[in-house]
Amino acid sequence: MSAMTHSPHKFTALVLAADRGLDDPVAKAAGVPCKSLAPIGGVPMVFRVVNALDTSREVDAINLCGPSETIVNQTADLGDLITSGKVKWYANQATPSTSAYHVLQSLPDEVPVILTTADHALLSARVVDHFCSHAKSTGCDVVIGIARHEEVAKAYPETRRTATRLSDGAYCGCNLFAFLTPRARMAADFWRQVESQRKKPLRVIRVLGWMAVVRYLMGRLSLAEALVRISRRLGFKAGAVIMPFAEAAVDVDSVSDLELVEKIIAEKQA
């Protein structure tokens, strides 16, 4: 696979790999310069994510945004990965949403893009293939991957994931986004609006209008209605893929997440 070429109907991947701020607790606990380099089962998270994308049937190019050039130059394996041509590196911007927007503007409009994060340490080719193939079948401009909170809690009772509780169930984000059309690039602007509120579902719902807030508070806002409201308000057709894999909703946001993912991978390798 080359980061510079693309086959029709296949996805280009974008991996956000920079820390949100200085002194990331996961990076400090792992003794590495940034979170994406924290090892899980002896393999840095960012390499696990790149490998999942590289072995996916749906992806034929990978772009990496972050970590900083200084960290890349100090990390031989990461530098080798970039110079090999397997991934194309971009400097990260001030926030994940501005980083995504910056890279998306440099990619051809007709190329579908799957966006994920370098702390998605349990990502696999199976998860990527399922999300991409189902996203394409929605007929939407932008698609997000979500998982049912009850299934995530059942599989991993020791973890606490942020959930948006709608009338037809509670859902967790999976850090999987598909930008399928030229119009989809507008979604990065929406992300910039809600990024700082990502852990506060009610404030995100407020972007959809006060009627949506009222229906949400009354327990009457469904997933389908939320997607319709997003589409109408923002000018692109939004959809969702409900992932059948609980691990798709587990990323490494904290030291406890790091310990959980270490445990999960150790059990898989045993």
Residue 2 pLDDT > 50, yes or no?
A: no
Mean pLDDT across the stretch 140-156?
96
Higher pLDDT, 229 or 33: 33
Please report the pLDDT score of residue 155 as a whole number: 96
- Can you give the three-state secondary structure of 32-49, one letter per residue? CCCHHHCEECCEEHHHHH
For 23: left if phi > 0, alpha if psi spans -120 to 50, otherwise beta; the answer is left
Please report the pLDDT score of residue 205 as a whole number: 62
Please report the pLDDT score of residue 188 as a whole number: 74
Please report the pLDDT score of residue 208 as a whole number: 61
Please report the pLDDT score of residue 98 as a whole number: 86
Please report the pLDDT score of residue 23 as a whole number: 84
Q: How confident is the model at residue 4 (pLDDT cuts 50, 70, 90)?
A: very low
Beta strands in 1-102 (DSSP E): 11-16, 39-40, 43-44, 59-65, 88-90
Q: How far apart are CA 30 and CA 11, in angstroms?
A: 32
Mean pLDDT across the stretch 43-57?
98
Q: How far apart are CA 103 and CA 14, in angstroms?
A: 8
| Segments making up each domain of the chain, as ranges | 11-269
Q: What's the first-to-final CA gap in the chain, in angstroms?
A: 30
Higher pLDDT, 19 or 266: 266
CA atoms within 13 A on the CB side of 259: 7
Q: What is the mean pLDDT of the chain?
A: 88
Tokens of 72: 């890349």
Percent of the chain with pLDDT over 90: 69
Specify the pTM: 0.90
Instruction: Specify whether domain 11-269 bears CATH 1.10.10.10.
Output: no
Q: How far apart are CA 129 and CA 118, in angstroms?
A: 17
Percent of the chain with pLDDT over 70: 85
Please report the pLDDT score of residue 160 as a whole number: 83
Q: In this predicted model, what pLDDT tens digit does every residue of 150-206 receive, in sequence order?
A: 999 999 998 888 898 899 999 999 999 999 999 988 787 666 666 555 556 666 666
Residue-wise DSSP of 178-201? EE-SGGGGGHHHHHHHHGGGTT-H
Q: How confident is the model at residue 270 (pLDDT cuts 50, 70, 90)?
A: confident
Range from 114-128, 175-189, 208-222, 247-261 carrying the lowest mean pLDDT: 208-222
